[in-house]
Amino acid sequence: MRKKVIAGNWKMHMDLNESIGLISGIKNGMTNVNSKVILCPPYTSLETASTLLKGTEIGLGAQNIHFEDTGAFTGEVSAKMIKSVGCQYVILGHSERRAIFNESDEMINKKIKKALSEDLNVIFCIGETLEQRESNVTKDVVGKQIKLGLEGIAPEQMKNIIIAYEPVWAIGTGKTASPEQAQEVHLFIRELVGQLYNNEISDELIIQYGGSVKPANASELLSQNDIDGALVGGACLEAESFLAIIKAV
Ligand code: 13P
């Protein structure tokens, strides 16, 4: 039985003081929790978050890294740097990075390799746009993102990868994929990873759903066979709604 993993992607929200408030609210409500919880605040709050989360079971992640260790890359942050402030996770390939910051599958693959080489766990995001869904190419798009993103990743490294299926049309729009729509793609992802690696790896793979997950729809989504957790945006910015999603497991 795969343990559910609920991660909060804070995106570009929460200054340091706001972060401290949100983390303490989440910590205070973490009773009777059956899932793994991961917080992904902005870079500026990571070190403080790491201190506040010490001694808890809550994981900490960043929202991006560069694929080089060091260098003249103004404004960028490396895997080693986020590790040095206490991160165990990093989100890579988010659709906002792909669409707004022009990240290619090749670049995302390099970032995944770099993160794994630093013993970070990766939340690897994939998903189709509305236009792609309406043209019936969802599985082609998602399949290609997975094959290119995981190129050269060894079987033994797959235990450090979570895949997050986030249909772009469901992100921040209030439109959630129906549990059946999400389940269908999750099963496709698991079968594809089974073909690329083996059944043992695909059986253990955590596949999160993301896109307008809210307290009201979380338990139905999370009860699907192949939905092993959620990557939450908007609803993770308040302790109450994030905790309600965590407790929907
Ligand atoms: P929303 O939950 O705001 O739709 O965002 C989802 C997301 O992009 C998480 O990474």
Q: What is the DSSP string of the chain?
A: -PPPEEEEE--S---HHHHHHHHHHHHHT-SS--SEEEEE--HHHHHHHHHHHTTSS-EEEES---SSSSSS-TT---HHHHHHTT--EEEES-HHHHHHS---HHHHHHHHHHHHHTT-EEEEEE---HHHHHTT-HHHHHHHHHHHHTTT--GGGGGGEEEEE--GGGTTSS-PPPHHHHHHHHHHHHHHHHHHS-HHHHHH-EEEEESS--HHHHHHHHTSTT--EEEESGGGSSHHHHHHHHTT-
Q: In the predicted model, is pLDDT for residue 76 greater than 90? A: yes
Out of 103, 118, 166, 186, the active site residue is 166
The residue whose CA has the least distance to atom 7 of ligand 1 is 233
Active site residue 166: yes
- Please, what are the domains in the chain? 5-246 (3.20.20.70)
CA of 71 to the centre of ligand 1 (A): 31
Active site residue 66: no
pTM reported for the whole predicted model: 0.98
* Shortest-distance atom of ligand 1 to CA 96: 8
pLDDT tens string 135-166: 999 999 999 999 999 999 999 999 999 999 99
The residue whose CA has the least distance to atom 5 of ligand 1 is 233
pLDDT tens string 98-124: 999 999 999 999 999 999 999 999 999
pLDDT tens string 20-69: 999 999 999 999 999 999 999 999 999 999 999 999 999 999 999 999 99
CA of 187 to the centre of ligand 1 (A): 21
Out of 94, 96, 128, 186, the active site residue is 94
The residue whose CA has the least distance to atom 2 of ligand 1 is 233
Least confident of 175-179, 186-190, 204-208: 175-179
Pocket, ligand 1, Cβ cutoff 6 A = 9, 94, 166, 171-172, 210-213, 231-235
